[in-house]
Amino acid sequence: MKIGIVTLGCDKNTVDNEYLAGLLEARGHDVFRAEKGLTMDVVLINTCGFIEEAKSESIETILDWAKEKARSSSKLKLIVIGCLSQLYAEELSKEIPEIDTQAGVGMFEQIVALVEQTDQHSAARPILRSSNPSVAIERPYARKALDDLPYGFLKIADGCDHTCSFCTIPRIKGPYRSVPHEILLDEARALLGRGCKELNLVAQDTAKYGMDFYPDYRLEDLVKELCALPGRFWVRLLYLSPLDMRPELIRCIAEEKKICKYVDLPVQHLDGRVLQRMKRPYGPEQVVNTVETLRRCIPGVTIRTTLIVGFPGEGRKEFRVLCDGIQKLQFDRLGVFEYSAEGETEAARYTDQVPQRTRQRRRETLMRLQAEIAGIRHRRTIGTTRRVLIEQSVTPAHVYLGRSEGEAPEVDGYIACHSAQKLVPGQWVLARITSADAYDFEGEVVKLLRE
């Protein structure tokens, strides 16, 4: 069959879809990224159900493909999987009858069977979902890339053991489960073999890797083994909790040459009372100490964070504490989410919900504040040189978009590199920064770097 796959949500969904694509291709199917106008027998949509905005995007995408199915002259199957189906499969089947079948999370072989067995004309529309979800990876899967990119994601764990009052992830995906390091090393070799120049390590809490699985093997041990693989490539660590930033891990980031000096430290808030009500496993003092330690121990480190504004009970005082903390800590990168009251979470039952307009206004205030901070910090880089991984060419001619180790893929900005020589995605260059704003940079290529 010709099978088109749609990826929504986080990087872990990207990896899961590559697992599915690999399994389906091994069974003789033609698998690719779904696009309108292509001839397909099946469209497989991997959804996100984390926050309201992500749910809306998933539902809109399903409805869009349902219309495509109605217009199609072929017998197109529409299969929906992932987080949204894990939470709301019955509701989706009722509201969108064009869906042929659904499956929750962590069911790769079963989804392959559904793809092959679902009969579009059958009255029954099966739903495959576990009441006790598990996302454990217990055997290796061959992965098939759905996009031609010079970077890839290595899902080192999934699920979560935290009990944050605002989050549905433990209910959707079950407990935290590390992937055996032998599997990860084989996946890394395959990714590097297909041309990846950057391995982005992802999990719900990357720094917790191994604690559920090994007596004495941790993230820093995995990273050292990855860095020992041959070739020129970066290793980037995403989603590191302040709770688990051990001295050994910080020292590893500082000393290993292949690790990007980039720490993604999602802290959610900086007011102690709000963090307590969120049930985050740390307080503001630990966040401040962690940031100060990272800057002291890793010269030139880029620190990114994400925040939630408008959490229940966040008044003017708490928001001012947050703004003052941002001014003090001077994060290099920062993303802000408006609080979303998710069903069946503890925080959704709090009676002191913040009005939507207030949440929106506070997000805009924080983004303006961060733009000022980032603009000042970025302009200090003018005149410096950076190693850049080229990702794509743009118009006008001889301008190429790339990233240094200070920019993560898909969430941070780009460096627009001007080059007299033609460049290709996956190429390394040395670029001198000539201008910068709050999000992006411009530079001139001064040297092509060898592999």
Query: pLDDT per residue over 19-37, tens digit each?
Result: 999 999 999 999 999 999 8
Amino acid at 416: A
Residue 121, pLDDT > 90, answer no
On the 0-12 / 13-18 / 19+ scale of CB atoms within 10 A, 401 is middle
Query: pLDDT per residue over 127-179, tens digit each?
Result: 888 888 889 999 999 999 999 999 999 999 999 999 999 999 999 999 999 99
Residue 122, pLDDT > 60, answer no
Q: Give the pTM.
A: 0.94
Percent of the chain at pLDDT above 70?
98
Q: CB neighbours of 71 closer than 8 A, spacing ≥ 6? A: none
Percent of the chain at pLDDT above 90?
88
Q: Is 210 left (phi over 0), alpha (psi -120 to 50) or beta?
A: left
What 3-state DSSP class applies to 119?
A: coil
Give the mean pLDDT of 260-288. Answer: 96
Poorest-confidence range of 97-101, 125-129, 272-276, 326-330?
125-129
Structure tokens at 104: 């929750």
Interatomic CA distance for residues 217 and 209, integer angstroms: 8
Q: CB neighbours of 396 closer than 8 A, spacing ≥ 6? A: none
User: With contact defined as beta carbons under 8 Å apart, do 321 and 276 qualify?
Assistant: no
User: With contact defined as beta carbons under 8 Å apart, do 263 and 301 qualify?
Assistant: yes
Instruction: Compute the mean pLDDT over every residue in the chain, rounded to the nearest whole number.
Output: 94
Please count the CA atoms within 13 angstroms of the CA of 286 that sit on its side-chain side. Answer: 17
- pLDDT confidence of 119, banded at 50, 70, 90? low
Q: What is the pLDDT of residue 123?
A: 55
Domains of the chain with CATH codes: 2-128 (3.40.50.12160), 151-379 (3.80.30.20), 385-448 (2.40.50.140)
Residue 120, pLDDT > 80, answer no
Q: What is the pLDDT of residue 450?
A: 82
Query: pLDDT per residue over 256-268, tens digit each?
Result: 999 999 999 999 9
Interatomic CA distance for residues 31 and 2, integer angstroms: 6
Interatomic CA distance for residues 59 and 227, integer angstroms: 40
For β-strands 42-47 and 2-7, DSSP reports them as parallel
Q: What is the pLDDT of residue 296?
A: 97
Enumerate the β-bridge partners of residue 441: 415, 436
- pLDDT confidence of 233, banded at 50, 70, 90? very high
Q: What is the pLDDT of residue 125?
A: 72
- Return the DSSP state at 258: T
Poorest-confidence range of 119-123, 172-176, 221-225, 435-439?
119-123
Structure tokens at 4: 């088109």
Interatomic CA distance for residues 112 and 370, integer angstroms: 45
Give the mean pLDDT of 205-219. Answer: 95
Give the mean pLDDT of 332-354. Answer: 94
- Return the DSSP state at 381: T
Residue 312, pLDDT > 90, answer yes
**How remote is the C-alpha of 443 from its chain's centroid?**
27
Q: CB neighbours of 103 closer than 8 A, spacing ≥ 6? A: 79, 80, 81, 85, 110, 111, 114, 127, 128, 129
